A and B are shown apart, each in its own frame.
Chain A
Amino acid sequence: MNLSRLRTNLQIPLSTDLVYRGCHCPMHTALASLRHLKDISSLVVGTNECTYYSRLVLNEDFHSEKARHYCYLMSSRETVFGCAKGLHEAVAEMFEEGIERLLIIMTCVPALIGEDYKSLLEPFGERVKVIDLSHFKRNGYGSGYDLLSEALAQWFLEESAEGFRLNEITLLNDVHHDFSSLTEYQTVIVTSTKWRRLIKPLRQAGIEVYSTYNIWDAVNMEKLLLQVPESQGILEISLDYCNHRHSEHSDLANRLSTLGIEVHILNQDVHSLGLSQALHRLGLKVTRLHMEEWHESEAEAQSACLKLGMDPEVIYEADEVFGHRGKVRFRQIGFEQWVDTPRETWLSLCQLPLESRLSEFYKLMYGVLEHFEIGGDVNAAGQN
């Protein structure tokens, strides 16, 4: 499946017919994120497999005064006839215990039988949200973050005071868990791919939102700084810094483009469409791209890639032993030998502030250049 033809998540093929160890399901990431949200309760609905394993991630250890984390174990009868009555009683019992908000997580079997929980739980009003995290509808776990953040946005945006923004700007990153405070800001900068689905609802609420998780080169960084001058302070970068990066970028692009290097981006931590644009501008040919999930919010980045003339193959790299999940791989076109940069390198790059991330990224790319010019060690350059 090529990027230009990609329209739905289901089109992304698994890289293998046989998965070794594999990847987590979206229930896992949603439950892991819920650990940090103190006032939100959860109810995992499913058969024994999912409910049992869900307790490895979120269990009674994370209960608080207003939050309980339980599961609803479907019987074999309910997998045929539905669990409307039992679920209604279970939710009522949870509210009797004093919880305030409840997130119901549908796993594979309830999603397969297609019971309409949203209308079933209407009597409980906006206190209950339902998200469908069945694994058979996607390959990866990204939608655990995506659908959770959409549900959170519905809650906190409903409660926020409209039109009044107390503070100027904030970052929405991996460690941000107080989502209700986001509405107090005029501008929000999203630095983590986890919360990309909050961009749309925040914008709809009148908040200016920009993202940095998809910025991997000086061109895009400069665009952001020009759009949001005050972000220079919070991101601790300046236009001077950008100019410096520009000259570095041109030097790298001039030298790399003569070598004819192709790239496979098989890492799940980076925003692969953003990184592929940066690599393309450096004169590299991205031929294969790992994509956790496709969503309409990616359409803009997808179209930017296509405008640059790229059309890589899109896959979900799942295999951990025989495959290359997590790596970004480089080789000269026409040669067999790949040069791999490991997942750890890219994970640590993603976690750096924007300025350091770009510095380290360019260092890594100089490492790639040296390797193909004189046989240097790519990864040693990336770690310096």
Chain B
Amino acid sequence: MPLVKTRPRPASRIGLAYTFLGIEGLTVLECGSMGHTLYLYKEAYLKEIEIKCHFYSTHLSEGDLVMGMDQRLIKGLRELEAKEASASVVALMPSSLGEMTGFDLKGLAQSGIERQFKLVSFEKGGFDYSFEDGLEEGLYSLCRTLVKRSEQAAKKDAKVIVNVLGGRHFDNTLDLKVLSSELYRKYDCHINTFLPLSSSVSAIERLTEADLNIVISRDAIKTAEYLKHEYQMSYIVDETFGGKNESK
């Protein structure tokens, strides 16, 4: 029965958005209603999640739904180039309206039009995908597009450098200080970045400088597998952090 009497579980679009929230230097362009973008701000505010990326929306009209959203999006990207000179990576976030009209974000991202920024497209923005699917795709696609093979950085000491992957839960905001101290106590390691909890575009590009990935939630396993396969980075899964009682 689709009558929901409390609050529906969020779907993949919100999972995608949650992935982007903590990534500094990322610009997100939502291809849909500006009302959704504003709600995203409102929810992040209510949950005390810091928004490090920049969210924009194309909005849309009846005409766009009939004639296609290509022109609207292309104009939006043009304006973005003018307004955000520092933008280097733009995530094209889909919505269910775009999915209904069959708008091809991937095609646009790969169209080869020369821009000052890199475009990353995502597909799981509409129906039938869960919040966790959105988190998984968000992390995976960003890493696939941005991670660079880098020279191993000179180590300050013998400690292991790790990337912490995952941890963006829906109903539990992890406290990074607590998480850091627990990881330090348990693994005696330096932390390169928390992705996606608190990271940046440049930190994602330098992900391979670390020795190991620690996966703290299942949605990051696909990304860890990718990094292992492409860059020979080992990973361990440790889901003991951020139990429900540990919410901020």
Please, how many angstroms separate the alpha-carbon atoms of A72 and B1 in the complex? 9
**Contact call B5/A136, Cβ cutoff below 8 A:** no
**Contact call B58/A136, Cβ cutoff below 8 A:** no
**Contact call A318/B7, Cβ cutoff below 8 A:** no
Please, how many angstroms separate the alpha-carbon atoms of A274 and B166 in the complex? 54
CB distance from A346 to the nearest CB of B (A): 21
**Contact call A108/B33, Cβ cutoff below 8 A:** yes
Q: Would you list which residues of chain A between 79 and 111 have a CB under 8 Å from chain B? A: 79, 83, 86, 89-90, 93-94, 108-109
Our pick among A18, A23, A60, A135 for the contact of B5 (Cβ within 8 Å) is A60
Segment touching B, from A46-54, A207-215, A225-233, A328-336: A46-54
Interface size on A, residues (CB 8 A): 51
CB distance from B46 to the nearest CB of A (A): 7
Contacts of B117 in A (CB 8 A): none
Interface: B106 (CB within 8 A)? no
A 361-377 binary contact with B (CB < 8 Å = 1; else 0)? 00000000000000000
**Contact call B62/A22, Cβ cutoff below 8 A:** no
Please, how many angstroms separate the alpha-carbon atoms of A162 and B127 in the complex? 49
**Contact call B97/A51, Cβ cutoff below 8 A:** no
Our pick among A10, A14, A112 for the contact of B97 (Cβ within 8 Å) is A112
Contacts of B79 in A (CB 8 A): 16-18
CB distance from A65 to the nearest CB of B (A): 16
CB distance from B84 to the nearest CB of A (A): 9
Chain A residue with the shortest CB-CB distance to B75:
A17
Interface: A74 (CB within 8 A)? yes
**Contact call B4/A72, Cβ cutoff below 8 A:** yes
Contacts of B35 in A (CB 8 A): 22-25, 27-28, 53, 135, 141
**Contact call A318/B34, Cβ cutoff below 8 A:** yes
**Contact call B76/A109, Cβ cutoff below 8 A:** no
A 224-247 binary contact with B (CB < 8 Å = 1; else 0)? 000000000000000000000000
**Contact call B59/A318, Cβ cutoff below 8 A:** yes
**Contact call A59/B6, Cβ cutoff below 8 A:** yes
CB distance from A349 to the nearest CB of B (A): 25
Please, how many angstroms separate the alpha-carbon atoms of A327 and B11 in the complex? 37
**Contact call B97/A75, Cβ cutoff below 8 A:** no
**Contact call A52/B34, Cβ cutoff below 8 A:** no
Interface: B41 (CB within 8 A)? yes
Q: Would you list which residues of chain A between 1 and 60 have a CB under 8 Å from chain B? A: 10, 14, 16-25, 27-28, 43, 47-49, 51-53, 55-56, 59-60
Interface: A137 (CB within 8 A)? yes
Contacts of B128 in A (CB 8 A): 75-76
Contacts of A49 in B (CB 8 A): 11, 13-14, 36, 95-96
**Contact call A23/B96, Cβ cutoff below 8 A:** no
Our pick among B8, B56, B97 for the contact of A136 (Cβ within 8 Å) is B97
**Contact call B56/A59, Cβ cutoff below 8 A:** no
Please, how many angstroms separate the alpha-carbon atoms of A260 and B226 in the complex? 65
Interface: A139 (CB within 8 A)? yes
Q: Would you list which residues of chain B between 12 and 63 have a CB under 8 Å from chain A? A: 13-14, 29, 33-39, 41-43, 46, 54-63
Our pick among B1, B4, B13, B83 for the contact of A51 (Cβ within 8 Å) is B4
A sample of 6 cross-chain residue pairs with beta-carbon separation below 8 angstroms, ordered by A number, consists of A10-B61, A18-B58, A21-B41, A71-B3, A76-B127, A89-B1
Q: A23-B38, A49-B13, A90-B1 are in contact. List 10 more A-B contacts (CB 8 A).
A: A17-B58, A22-B38, A25-B36, A47-B126, A53-B35, A60-B5, A60-B6, A68-B5, A93-B3, A135-B60
A residues in contact (CB < 8 Å) with B: 10, 14, 16-25, 27-28, 43, 47-49, 51-53, 55-56, 59-60, 68, 70-76, 78-79, 83, 86, 89-90, 93-94, 108-109, 112, 135-137, 139, 141, 318, 322
* 8 A-B pairs with the lowest CB-CB distances in the bound complex, closest first: A22-B34, A25-B35, A76-B127, A48-B11, A90-B3, A17-B75, A18-B79, A53-B39
